[in-house]
Structure 1
Amino acid sequence: MTVEFVGMIGTRDVSETRGPTGPPIDPGYVRRFSRVHEDGGFDRVLIGYGSSTPDGTQVAAYAAAHTERLGLLIAHRPGFVAPTTAARTFATLDQLSGGRVAVHTVTGGSDAEQRRDGDYLGKDDRYARTEEYLRILRRAWSSPEPFTHEGRFYRFEDFSLLAQPAHRIPLYFGGSSPAAYRTGGAVADVFALWGEPLKETAEQIAAVRASAAAAGRGLLGISVSFRLILAATDELARERAERILATITESKGGKGSFTGTRPACWAGRTPRTPARNACTRRPPRATGTTGHCGWPRPGPAAPGAIRPSWSARPRPWPGSCWTTSTSASPRS
């Protein structure tokens, strides 16, 4: 079983626990952030999407130019460019980066956020559009001949790509609703989940598997997202987590929560890695601020059930870690 470590990069220094510093786009920060992930042994970095944030594809291209092997997981929201345009964009970047592109599909769970980009479709229609969109991407990236499409949301004739991607671009997919499980199970390669307690994680994996089976597909990859707080010991990590939570709670007007359980992605640690503990309350729904630890074939989400094989490269997260949650916004 293979385990991937997926971090995240942004265009300036900011997090969920402190305010932004520097200009909205700081090229030097992007370079340093990307190289730290590559030097730390991460497999990919997520570049987020938001209606007001810098364009993720261009950020990914800049990061690719300053790294050699780091994978680029680009968050992408269907509905704002034609799928044929997206197919060209990602195929071109995949060629120029040497086959390092993956696409993380964010259908969108907030009507207000969608309308900032001019999208007034309801949630169910958005998921239907996403499925059609991703099927077009996959066909565009694999069809040796021009093809025509006439669907509910998209229509075009004799489309083809002069340059195909350098590799089979993985399609990641996020969401935690029945519509998301249904759509992701039908078209995604990897389904991304928020870090929940193990029981809830197992339920979500089962829903994704059932959707994939209903679509006549095999097991999908599973990615699980956690916020990590590092310290030398469990006790120091817990103290640091409590301080961070207190700061966030105060800034949120007294609304905060903190509970703990061991996450599945650490359950199979090897003896040579330090003991870890973590708190896996659902994190805030802030687009693009998540790091993922995932594995292509999900195992049962129970303590000790996942036995990842660790590589010999430097560990990206030494010591103990805790994650916190301040509030749960609507699930997408």
Structure 2
Amino acid sequence: MPVEFIGLIATNEGSETHRSSGAVIDPNYVRRFARVHEDADFDRVLIGYSSASPDNIQVAAYAAAHTERLGYLVAHRPGVVFPTVAARYFATLDHFSGGRIAVHIITGGSDAEQRRDGDYLTKDERYDRTDEYLDIVRSAWTSTEPFSHEGRYYKLADHLATVRPVQQPHIPLYFGGSSQAAYRVGGRHADVFALWGEPLAQTAEQIAAVNQAAERAGRPRPGISVSFRPVLGPTEDLAWERAHRILADTRANLAAPGSIFSQFRHAFSPEQAPANVGSQRLLAAAATGELHDRALWTPLAAATGAAGNSTALVGTPETVAQALLDYIDIGVTTVLIRGYDPYDDTVDYGRQLIPLVREEVARRDRGEAANRTAIAPVPAALAANGASVN
């Protein structure tokens, strides 16, 4: 089964090692950044959400208008708008993009960040609301007759949308989280469940928990996405030299005015334990050692308080490709990768990393298909005539 690659675009150039300069929204950069992902053979790009960020639905519409094939994974917080309104937003965008939209559901792990948009529910309440919210969104996308709903968080009567998604039966739903509540709700709704890059053993445990939740909900197992920050070099030594330089630059930029972390400083910091389980898990992995498995490096997560996907895969393209294949071997279907030099790293991933992974996955798929053909049973009609297969 082909692996899906997801990148990430933003409205101006910046990262943990490169402080943003210029306008918050640079249309030319958005256009170029989306196109370089398309040229690099990414399947989709994530457009994140925060209380301080530009509206990501409009960013997706603009970027989609300037690309032809690239898909857009739009992060969305349930509760920011009414669910039927969100359903119309995304169904409309799906039409204008030619069916290239997916939605990434982020229920929200930080109370402080949620309150910036006026949301004062507890974390458990947010997950319960998300569950109800997605039931309504799915109904709005698929119902051909008016429907009503009366629940704990939402009440509506006789809703019928005139616009439904291009993609049928509905727009793909990705779902992020690492708590038991996330597994429960994501298991009910996710087409793809998204995790941050932990060591292989811990990732396998999370995959098992997600699959069990889906089975309890009577749904097929979702795809699994895992996120990494690859640091490539032409040799192992040069890759590690670059990784340590990135770590030094990140530490220097943490407290700087205009830092990428400034809007999250009170919610995520090395001095204050994060509230969300995903970040807690990354910090726990970092506490047990800097290097895990083939190439997973955790000091960048430790330095930033695991504010977002922050574990690196370090090495030559061949080493990092094999590390990604290790995750594919335990059930990962989607890989989200982004760099510390966002634009240039995207170019390098497209030239050096993505082709290696795609070629090996395709080779394995061909081998499995050949094996299935080789052991195929003799058709009943031939067996009845005494035919043999050599």
Q: Does the TM-score normalized on the shorter chain lie above 0.5?
A: yes
Aligned-partner Cα distance in 1 for 2:201–2:37: 31
| 2:100 counterpart of 1:116 | no
- Structure 1 residue 260, shift from structure 2 partner: 2.4
User: Matches of residues 150-299 of structure 1 in structure 2 within 5 Å?
Assistant: 150-167=150-167, 168-252=170-254, 259-262=290-293, 277-279=295-297, 283=301, 285-286=306-307
Inter-partner Cα distance in structure 1 for 2:333 and 2:81? 38
C-alpha offsets along residues 194-241 of structure 1, whole Å, 9 cap, x if unaligned?
Answer: 000001101111111111111111211100000122221222111100
Report the CA distance between 1:249 and its aligned residue.
3.0
CA distance in 1, matches of 2:10, 2:291: 28
Distance 1:17 1:282, change over 3 A: closer
2: distance between equivalents of 1:206 and 1:151?
31
Q: Secondary structure at the match of 1:13?
A: coil
Q: Does structure 2 retain, via aligned residues, the 8 Å contact 1:226–1:280?
A: no
Unpaired runs of 5+ in structure 1? 264-276, 292-299, 321-332
Partner of 1:316: 350
Report the equivalent of 1:133. Answer: 133
In the alignment, residue 105 of structure 1 is paired with which amino acid? I
The residue matched to 1:63 in structure 2 has which SS? helix
Classify the secondary structure of the residue corresponding to 1:124: helix
Listed one character per residue, the Cα deviations across residues 98-135 of structure 1 (whole Å, up to 9, x for unaligned) are 00000000100100000000000000000000011111
CA RMSD, Structure 1 to Structure 2 (Å)? 2.9
Q: What is the rounded CA distance, in whole Å, between the counterparts of 1:166 and 1:4 in structure 2?
A: 20
TM-superposed deviation, 1:248:
2.1
- Distance (Å, rounded) in 1 between the aligned partners of 2:311 and 2:129: 25
User: TM-score, normalising length from structure 1?
Assistant: 0.82
> For residue 374 of structure 2, what is the aligned residue in structure 1?
none
Report the equivalent of 1:88.
88
Q: Percent of aligned pairs with the same residue?
A: 58
1:6 aligns with 2:6: yes
Change (3 A) 1:23 1:252: closer
- After superposition, residues 35-50 of structure 1 pair within 5 angstroms as 35-50=35-50
CA contact (8 A) 1:194 1:282 kept: no
Aligned residues: 295
SS at match of 2:67: coil
Classify the secondary structure of the residue corresponding to 1:245. helix
Q: 1:118 to 1:315 in 2, by over 3 A?
A: closer
Q: Distance in 2 between matches of 1:158 and 1:306?
A: 41
- How many Å apart are 1:31 and its aligned residue? 0.2
Indicate how the Cα distance of structure 1 residues 251 and 26 shifts in structure 2: closer, same or farther if over 3 A, else same.
closer
**Structure 1 pair 66–287 and aligned structure 2 pair: CA distance change class (3 A):** farther
Quick check: which one's helix share is greater? 2
Q: Distance in 2 between matches of 1:112 and 1:211?
A: 28
Q: Does the Cα contact within 8 Å between 1:172 and 1:188 map onto a contact in 2? A: yes
Counterpart of 1:106 in structure 2 is 106
Q: 1:302, CA displacement in angstroms?
A: 6.5
Supply the distance in 2 between the matched residues of 1:190 and 1:140 (Cα, whole angstroms): 20
State how far apart, in whole Å, the 2-side matches of 1:224 and 1:236 are: 25
Distance 2:327 2:62 in 1: 39
TM-score, normalized by length of structure 2?
0.70
Equivalent pair of 2:4/2:333 in contact (CA under 8 Å) = no
Q: Within 2, Cα distance between the matches of 1:217 and 1:286?
A: 31
Letter in 2 for 1:101: I
Letter in 2 for 1:83: P
Letter in 2 for 1:279: W
5+ unaligned residues in a row in structure 2: which ranges? 256-268, 271-282, 313-324, 335-347, 355-390
Contact 1:75 1:288 survives alignment (8 Å): no
1:139 offset after TM fit, Å? 1.3
Tell me which structure has the larger Cα radius of gyration. 2
Which deviates the most, 202-211 or 25-34?
A: 202-211
Cα distance in 2 for residues equivalent to 1:308 and 1:318 = 20
Distance (Å, rounded) in 1 between the aligned partners of 2:327 and 2:40? 28
CA 1:282 to 1:221, structure 2 compared with 1: closer, same or farther past 3 Å? farther
Does the 8 Å CA contact 2:207/2:331 hold for their aligned counterparts? no
Q: Which shows bigger deviation, 34-43 or 253-262?
A: 253-262
Matches of 1:197 and 1:289 in 2, distance apart?
13
Pairwise CA distance, 1:148: 0.7
Report the Cα distance in structure 2 between the residues aligned to 1:29 and 1:288, rounded to whole angstroms. 23
Q: Decide whether aligned partners of structure 1 residues 305 and 193 sit closer, same or farther in structure 2, where only a CA change above 3 A counts.
A: closer
Output the amino acid matched with 1:243: R
CA distance in 2: counterparts of 1:281 and 1:215, whole angstroms? 37
Q: 1:11 to 1:183 in 2, by over 3 A?
A: same
Code of the aligned partner of 1:131: D
